[in-house]
Amino acid sequence: MEPILLLCLSLLAHGAEAACRDARFVGTVLPLRAQQLVVAPTRSPAANRLRFRHDVRLTVPVAVGAPPQNVTMVLDTGSELSWLLCNGSRVPSASAPPRAPAAFNGSASSTYAAAHCSSPECQWRGRDLPVPPFCAGPPSNSCRVSLSYADASSADGVLAADTFLLGGAPPVRALFGCITSYSSSATANGNAAATNSSEAAMGLLGMNRGSLSFVTQTGTLRFAYCIAPGDGPGLLVLGGDGAALSAPQLNYTPLIEISQPLPYFDRVAYSVQLEGIRVGAALLPIPKSVLAPDHTGAGQTMVDSGTQFTFLLADAYAPLKGEFLNQTTALLAPLGEPDFVFQGAFDACFRASEARVAAASQLLPEVGLVLRGAEVAVGGEKLLYRVPGERRGEGGTEAVWCLTFGNSDMAGMSAYVIGHHHQQNVWVEYDLQNNRVGFAAARCDLATQRLGARA
């Protein structure tokens, strides 16, 4: 049986430290946190469009190397190769450079080893990474990696290996990208606040099903998390049996497998089958063909901890938007600005005071993502997001709120993505041994207390 590794999750909006303790488990306990990145909205000159950018991410502290160096890494089930900012890395910044996180120093680790051109690792030509490792040639003969992401961020560096320690668990050796050049939409746009934190992440922990992911390299067959809203505590569990940890009764949906390579289908993502979408009791009249991958692979549905909100293809987003607006006419006033698009993909927006939204949130119709054998239900405060820095009305008494479902087509994506905002207060289990993902409604703060972990 796999060793159980129990981790605590805490949303630290104000940077407070959180530590977790559990006397009943032999495993190791450490914090996983949902980190809020405060960034100012940036507008496109042509219209009132705010650029697509993730501003919340789940992070976990890890120790790497010997002697161990403490790093903070984004937990991303939508990515494969893990990476760390390394000494000498270049990160674009504004004219007043933000305080960047300390970089990992490979030369200070006795267990660090960079892959060379002739190494088997550099000859790896698997199907998973869009750009496989490649040789830089003389004089360095280093094995290079180049990574890019949907939000226009990118990372370049060398392929390397070192030991990873999560709390007091035995160290595991894994390949990762030692990044020397990194850029993102936040740093490229000069949003210094996005990285102006001592808790800023200095890497990414790739957790998809690819050959080079941390999950695959370490032989992890099961992991789960429960994300609490606000600043409440939650849990991340690596390995073990969820039932043995008093996890709620899960409804499982099978992972979708397609053996034939298709240009727009990510075969190493946690892909599930979306069967329908409901708003309140109304099941939207969306053809099944719209919800299934087409002959190119476009239209798959992915469960992704690395994406904040949920994205739907246009043919499903349009009826959802229309039905939600229809059912909330008496509760919320539409923004009434046709050119306003938050993060380039969210155009179902409203204007209301915080008190008005608080009162209306309990009356909003629940949105259900109906999966094969399970459902992800989104209700209450999770349905609306207040756009930072946007005020309307005389004296700025009203804020701007947008529905937390975005249009994939507007964001330049060809898939449905269930983001971690809609996974709050949901126990999510990734069962790789049985090729399925389980969901259950949960009070994540209470689950933490039940398992003996205290912030």
Highest mean pLDDT among 4-8, 20-24, 85-89, 220-224: 220-224
CA triple 175-180-182, angle to 5 deg: 100
Say what the pLDDT of residue 74 is: 86
29 inside domain: no
Say what the pLDDT of residue 394 is: 87
* pLDDT tens-digit readout, 157-201: 999 999 998 766 789 999 999 999 888 754 333 332 333 333 467
Average pLDDT over residues 371-397: 95
Whether 208 and 312 map to the same domain: the answer is no
Say what the pLDDT of residue 198 is: 34
Residue 440's pLDDT band (cuts 50, 70, 90)? very high
CATH code of residue 67 = 2.40.70.10
| Among 131, 128, 220, CA closest to 174 | 220
What single DSSP character describes residue 48?
Answer: S
Point out the domain boundary residue: 220, 235, 267. Answer: 220
Say what the pLDDT of residue 261 is: 87
Whether 379 and 439 map to the same domain: the answer is yes
> Where is pLDDT greater, at 378 or 122?
378
Backbone angles phi, psi at 435, to 5 degrees: 50, 60
| Among 208, 207, 211, CA closest to 127 | 211
Whether 177 and 267 map to the same domain: the answer is no
Separation between Cα atoms, residue 146 and residue 307, nearest integer Å: 20
Say what the pLDDT of residue 136 is: 81
332 inside domain: yes
Catalytic residues: 76, 304
Average pLDDT over residues 71-87: 91
Total number of domains in the chain: 2
Q: Which amino acid is at 353?
A: S
- Kind of pairing between the strands at 374-378 and 5-11: unpaired
Percent of the chain with pLDDT over 90: 55
Say what the pLDDT of residue 50 is: 30
Q: What is the pTM of this model?
A: 0.84
* pLDDT tens-digit readout, 350-362: 999 999 999 999 9
Average pLDDT over residues 342-371: 96
Say what the pLDDT of residue 153 is: 79
Whether 178 and 270 map to the same domain: the answer is no
SS percent in the chain: helix, strand, coil, step 5: 15, 40, 50
Whether 197 and 249 map to the same domain: the answer is no
231 inside domain: no
Residue 231's pLDDT band (cuts 50, 70, 90)? low
Whether 205 and 306 map to the same domain: the answer is no
Whether 209 and 251 map to the same domain: the answer is no
Whether 278 and 201 map to the same domain: the answer is no
Whether 256 and 379 map to the same domain: the answer is yes
Whether 197 and 52 map to the same domain: the answer is yes
* CA distances for 312 relative to 266, 277, 298, 393, 423, angstroms: 16, 10, 12, 31, 16
Range of the domain at 51: 37-220
* pLDDT tens-digit readout, 300-317: 999 999 899 999 999 999
> Where is pLDDT greater, at 119 or 282?
282
Whether 284 and 419 map to the same domain: the answer is yes
> Where is pLDDT greater, at 34 or 99?
34
Residue 451's pLDDT band (cuts 50, 70, 90)? low
313 inside domain: yes
Task: Specify the range with the lowest mean pLDDT, choosing from 47-51, 214-218, 242-246, 387-391.
Answer: 47-51
Say what the pLDDT of residue 90 is: 65
Residue 41 has pLDDT above 50, yes or no: no
